[in-house]
Amino acid sequence: MLNAILGQALIAVFLTLTASVVAVVQCELFPTQVRYTGAALGYNLGYMLFGGTAPFVAQYLVVHTHAPLAPAFYMSAVGLLVLVPIVLLPETAGTRMSRTHAHFSSR
Does residue 71 surpass a pLDDT of 90? yes
Lowest mean pLDDT among 5-9, 12-16, 86-90: 86-90
Q: What confidence category does residue 91 fall into, taking pLDDT thresholds of 50, 70 and 90?
A: confident
Q: Look up the pTM and report it.
A: 0.64
Which of 23, 28, 25 is CA-nearest to residue 96?
28
How many whole angstroms separate alpha carbon 15 and alpha carbon 21? 10
Q: What is the mean pLDDT of residues 10-15?
A: 93
Number of structural domains (the chain) is 1
Containing domain of residue 13, as a range? 2-105
Q: What confidence category does residue 96 fall into, taking pLDDT thresholds of 50, 70 and 90?
A: confident
